[in-house]
């Protein structure tokens, strides 16, 4: 009997950078133990749902733990990203051939080079990333050679949303007082490993105090994600910040073995504002972490293309407490919306103008917002 030979080359082990010792202000996010969502004990299920509800309504961000990945599996995902983006195994020719062409496609597919976005006057971004969609994830020509041996790990990781996101959407359906599988069955896209969403491996280069100063201490402008849910593996470099209800930016603290979750605009629209998309950004990191690369691994879950962004008026919650239709003439921010867009139309509009330099600044409660026009309405994103 032939002996199976493992031909997958070993990866350089990932070692998480040390946490900062800087005295910075963190947001106090709640932790949801995902393993308890389907507990056989009713009181446990209720307890985790109530905590989730508070996290969504009050913070807009939360930590997930016990979501089905060991620390070893998490570190392997970071090691794969490190292999491609830090260790230099993706060739310059591959970077050129696979460079994303989102202005043609409305999707971020492929390699994003450093220095693509204007962060501030004379300062370009410091970020490289590789982005996978269902249709390209399993297709060799769309991948650099260095990632092909690990594609099964990447596909397996992406299938995680079938477990994690399904449970998140179950609790969000419950918040809307809809049947518990409603959002998973009717809204979440299901084609391929991550539906119409995408998977991103991202690397922020080490930075300097001078660069941070020139960039206004921002590495990625404030924004809302456009999709349903965003699932990020927690990592130690302190830079992700959330804009609180008090209009203050606070850091998201590292949670070893955890995942950071936030909601996107599709959920905000269809929930009539009851499930808000949270504003976040990537700031410069504290000086004691500036020499380290910042790797992030994220799944961006998306709706089916043809889902209408109209509020779900069948929801008893919306019927009882009211709702905002962001595309209804007369609603604040509506300019000339003639039709409610689909999730695909919204996605394409948002992707085509992501991370552009602020054009029209509005200041509210001391926060500067970039006012942009999409599909008939104004969207405010904090700078
Ligand atoms: Fe984001």
Beta bridge partners of 297: 201
Q: Distance from CA of residue 44 to its chain's centroid?
A: 28
The domains located in the chain, with CATH, are 31-301 (2.60.120.330), 316-382 (no CATH)
CB 143 within 8 A of CB 95: no
Half-sphere exposure for 59 (CA within 13 Å, toward CB): 22
What distance in angstroms lies between residue 226's CA and the mean position of ligand 1's atoms? Answer: 8
List, in sequence order, the alpha helices (H) in the chain.
42-54, 71-85, 92-97, 102-105, 134-137, 151-158, 161-175, 182, 209-214, 265-270, 316-321, 343-352
- pLDDT for residue 1: 52
- pLDDT for residue 376: 86
What distance in angstroms lies between residue 7's CA and the mean position of ligand 1's atoms? Answer: 36
What distance in angstroms lies between residue 223's CA and the mean position of ligand 1's atoms? Answer: 6
CB 86 within 8 A of CB 112: no
CB under 5 Å of ion ligand 1: residues: 225
What distance in angstroms lies between residue 39's CA and the mean position of ligand 1's atoms? Answer: 31
What distance in angstroms lies between residue 44's CA and the mean position of ligand 1's atoms? Answer: 31
pTM of the model: 0.94
Ramachandran angles phi, psi of 283, nearest 5°: -95, 180
What distance in angstroms lies between residue 313's CA and the mean position of ligand 1's atoms? Answer: 28
Q: Which residues of the chain have pLDDT under 50?
A: none
Q: Which tens digits make up the pLDDT trace of 29-49?
A: 999 999 999 999 999 999 999
Q: Which tens digits make up the pLDDT trace of 329-361?
A: 888 888 887 889 999 999 999 988 776 666 788
What distance in angstroms lies between residue 227's CA and the mean position of ligand 1's atoms? Answer: 10
């Amino acid at each position: 009997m032939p002996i199976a030979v493992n031909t997958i080359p070993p990866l350089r082990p990932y070692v998480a950078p040390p946490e900062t010792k800087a005295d910075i202000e963190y947001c106090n996010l709640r932790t949801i133990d995902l393993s308890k969502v389907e507990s056989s004990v009713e009181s446990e299920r209720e307890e985790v749902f109530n905590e989730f509800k508070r996290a969504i309504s009050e913070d807009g961000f939360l930590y997930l733990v016990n979501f089905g990945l060991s620390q070893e599996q998490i570190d392997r995902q970071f090691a794969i990203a490190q292999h491609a983006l830090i260790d230099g195994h993706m060739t310059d020719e591959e970077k050129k051939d696979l460079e994303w062409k989102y202005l043609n496609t409305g999707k971020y597919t492929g390699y994003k080079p450093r220095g693509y976005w204007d962060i501030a006057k004379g300062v370009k971004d410091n970020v490289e990333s590789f982005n996978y969609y269902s249709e390209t994830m399993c297709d060799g020509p769309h991948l650099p050679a260095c990632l092909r041996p690990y594609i099964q790990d990447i596909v397996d990781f992406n299938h995680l949303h079938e477990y994690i996101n399904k449970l998140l959407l179950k609790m969000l359906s419950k918040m809307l007082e809809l049947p518990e599988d409603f959002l998973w069955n009717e809204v979440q896209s299901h084609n391929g490993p991550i539906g119409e969403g995408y998977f991103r491996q991202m690397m922020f280069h080490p930075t300097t105090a001078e660069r941070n100063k020139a960039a206004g201490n921002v590495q990625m402008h404030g924004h809302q994600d456009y999709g349903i849910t965003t699932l990020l593996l927690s990592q130690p470099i302190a830079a992700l910040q959330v804009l609180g209800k008090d209009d203050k930016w606070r850091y998201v603290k590292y949670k070893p073995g955890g995942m950071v979750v936030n909601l996107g605009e599709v959920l905000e629209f269809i929930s009539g504002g009851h499930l808000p998309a949270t504003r976040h950004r990537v700031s410069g990191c504290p000086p004691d972490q500036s020499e380290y690369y910042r790797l992030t691994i994220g799944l961006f879950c998306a709706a089916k293309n043809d889902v209408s962004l109209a509020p779900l008026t069948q929801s008893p919650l919306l019927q009882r407490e009211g709702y905002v239709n962001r595309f209804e003439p007369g609603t604040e921010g509506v300019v000339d919306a003639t039709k409610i867009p689909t999730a695909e139309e919204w996605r394409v509009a948002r992707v085509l103008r992501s991370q552009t330099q602020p054009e029209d600044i509005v200041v509210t409660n001391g926060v500067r917002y970039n006012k942009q026009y999409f599909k008939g309405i104004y969207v405010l994103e904090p700078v």
